[in-house]
Chains A and B, each alone.
Chain A
Amino acid sequence: MSQQTVVQLVFGVMAALSLGGAMGVVMARTVFVSALWLILSFVGVAGLYITLGAGFLAVIQVLVYVGAISVLILFAIMLTEDVMGDEHPNNGQVGLAIILLTPLIFLLGKWGFTANWPVKAAAILPRSGLSVDAATAAALPGALKTGDAFLVPDSVAYLGRVLMTEHFLAFEVVSVVLLVALVGAIVIARD
């Protein structure tokens, strides 16, 4: 098997995990089973991050989503009784939702497939420090030229530096939001 086949196979498995897990979430009869399917879906999305070359995000996905949010949801379900089973988990809007969402997924798919996204260098991004070879430059005329050097800063250090310089405002806003959410969650849950 060529390397391309292996990568595409890994992508297929991860996409199937995330989409299948999502289907399980909305199809499961009990909330508890839904939460277990949700964990599977999160693991699949973490795998998609790995195929995209964002290793740090995959780790964060597993830590925050699989480790924290899923456990929080499971706690909330198990701390309260009476939710373990429901004869009719859906409200009366299933037909309406399907009527609304069928055009939505059709349009999203059409735009994603046909839109002329400016995919340039990244799809053929060599490893950090490598240069563009002649065949690659010929494949994308105008975008690259032979000998251009690439640098993919796939390092946590670079992400941290960017968070502390270019995106400092977002970083600060998120920290304030987290603090407010922490205080708010305590105030709401305790009474």
Chain B
Amino acid sequence: MAMIPLWWYLMVAAGLFTIGLYGALVRKNAVSVLMGIELMLNAVNVNAVAFWRYVSPTAKAAAGADRPVGDFVVGMDGQVFAVVVIALAAAEAAVGLAMVIALYRSRRSFNLPQMDQLQG
């Protein structure tokens, strides 16, 4: 049977997500909040790949000219999901850090509690 049960991966991902959410909730520093968000995205990716490996390959092969043929073929949906999430995380990090640098230039600080210009 399974060398590693699926729920081991789910536990690790749950822990990563909770720790990342904790970091995003309690940190004062904007960069630390970004790091917490990256941790949460990583947890989502671990879950996606784990489900790709353990749950998705039950479909019978839709034999076609452009795809491998077998009785059971592993789809690639989970991996595509993870690749998309990684690309979006990179975009999010670039924009987030640009915003942090722009804010630092005007406020000389990263601290989120001081960024209250929108507060009435």
Binding site for B on A (CB under 8 A): 3-4, 7-8, 11, 15, 18-19, 22-23, 25-26, 31, 34-35, 38, 41-42, 45, 48-49, 51-54, 56-57, 60-61, 64-65, 68-69, 72-73, 75-77, 79-80, 82-83, 86, 88-91, 93-94, 96-98, 100-101, 104-105, 108-109, 112-113, 117-125, 139, 143-144, 148-154, 158-159, 161-163, 165-167, 170, 174, 177-178, 180-182, 184-186, 188-189, 191
Contacts and interface: CB of A to CB of B under 8 A. Distances in A.
A21 to B, nearest CB: 9
A174 B81 CA distance: 11
Contacts of A22: 15-16, 19-20, 23, 39
Given A22-B19, A68-B90, 18 more contacts: A25-B23, A26-B27, A45-B46, A48-B12, A48-B46, A48-B49, A72-B93, A113-B7, A120-B57, A120-B58, A122-B57, A139-B1, A148-B71, A149-B71, A151-B69, A163-B80, A167-B77, A189-B102
A123 B39 contact: no
Contacts of A3: 3
B45 A45 contact: yes
B17 A117 contact: no
B3 A8 contact: yes
Contact of A52 (B50, B71, B113): B50
Interface residues of B, number: 89
B19 A54 contact: no
Contacts of A26: 19-20, 22-23, 26-27, 32, 36
Contact of B16 (A19, A104, A113, A170): A19
21 contacts: A18-B46, A25-B32, A31-B29, A41-B16, A48-B12, A52-B50, A54-B53, A65-B38, A65-B42, A65-B89, A80-B104, A80-B110, A83-B110, A101-B21, A123-B54, A150-B70, A150-B72, A154-B74, A162-B80, A188-B99, A191-B105
A104 B2 contact: no
Nearest to A23: B19
Contact of B80 (A41, A45, A112, A170): A170
Closest 6 A/B residue pairs (Cβ): A112-B10, A151-B70, A181-B91, A123-B2, A108-B14, A26-B23
A57 B29 contact: no
Contact of A174 (B27, B79, B84, B98): B84
A56 B98 CA distance: 29
Interface of B: 1-23, 25-29, 31-32, 34-36, 38-39, 42, 45-46, 49-58, 61, 66-77, 79-80, 82-84, 86-95, 97-102, 104-105, 108-110, 112-113
Contact of A123 (B1, B66, B73): B1
Given A22-B15, A189-B101, A123 B32 contact: no
Given A51-B4, A101-B21, A149-B71, A76 B100 contact: yes
